Amino acid sequence: MAEQVGYSQKVMEHFMNPHNVGVIEDADGYGKVGNPVCGDIMEIFIKVKDDRIEDIKFRTFGCGSAIATSSMVTDMARGKTLDEAMTITRNDVATELDGLPPRKMHCSNLAADALHEAIKDYRSRQGA
């Protein structure tokens, strides 16, 4: 078991049973970010319909916090318009998880960044 660093119950739930895990083969948008210091890598795949995130999946290589934040950001973004999803911040993700230990906050930043990268990728494919 991972060392205890003060994870909330919600973080543990999303780590043990993450939501939206996987790959969307014909994704409309794809975002990948990494943190060279800790080695975490996050990928987010989105399907967009009528300017809304219709489907979203993630694949993450990293610690429990990285998995939990990826799971939470996909839950938060599903069904939102692209503009709404672009406003999701690291603090929003951490707050929805009932907080993260300070040394794990960078994970929530990666999750939000990967989402934003997927949206930017979608928009560039659309010529926006």
Q: Within a 10 A sphere around the Cβ of 80, how many other Cβ atoms?
A: 17
Domain hosting residue 26, numbered range? 9-123
Sequence-distant (≥ 6) Cβ neighbours of residue 96 within 8 angstroms: 10, 72, 75, 76
Q: What pLDDT does 128 receive?
A: 64
Residue 4 forms part of a structural domain: no
Cβ contact 31:43 at 8 Å:
yes
What residues are annotated to the active site? 38, 107
Tokens 């994870």 locate to 7
The single-letter code of the amino acid at 125 is R
Q: How many distinct structural domains can be found in the chain? A: 1
Q: Can you say whether the dihedral through the CA atoms of 102, 72, 60, 128 is positive or negative?
A: negative
Q: Tell the burial category of 1 from Cβ atoms under 10 Å away from its Cβ (0-12, 13-18, 19+).
A: exposed
pLDDT in tens, 45-76: 999 999 999 999 999 998 888 999 999 999 99
Which CATH number belongs to the domain containing residue 77 in this structure?
Answer: 3.90.1010.10
Residue 1 forms part of a structural domain: no
Residue 2 forms part of a structural domain: no
Q: What pLDDT does 1 receive?
A: 46
pLDDT tens digits, the chain, 128 residues: what are they? Answer: 444 567 899 999 999 999 999 999 999 999 999 987 778 899 999 999 999 999 999 999 988 889 999 999 999 999 999 999 999 998 999 999 998 888 877 777 889 999 999 999 999 999 86
Q: Within a 10 A sphere around the Cβ of 114, how many other Cβ atoms?
A: 26
Cβ contact 7:97 at 8 Å:
no
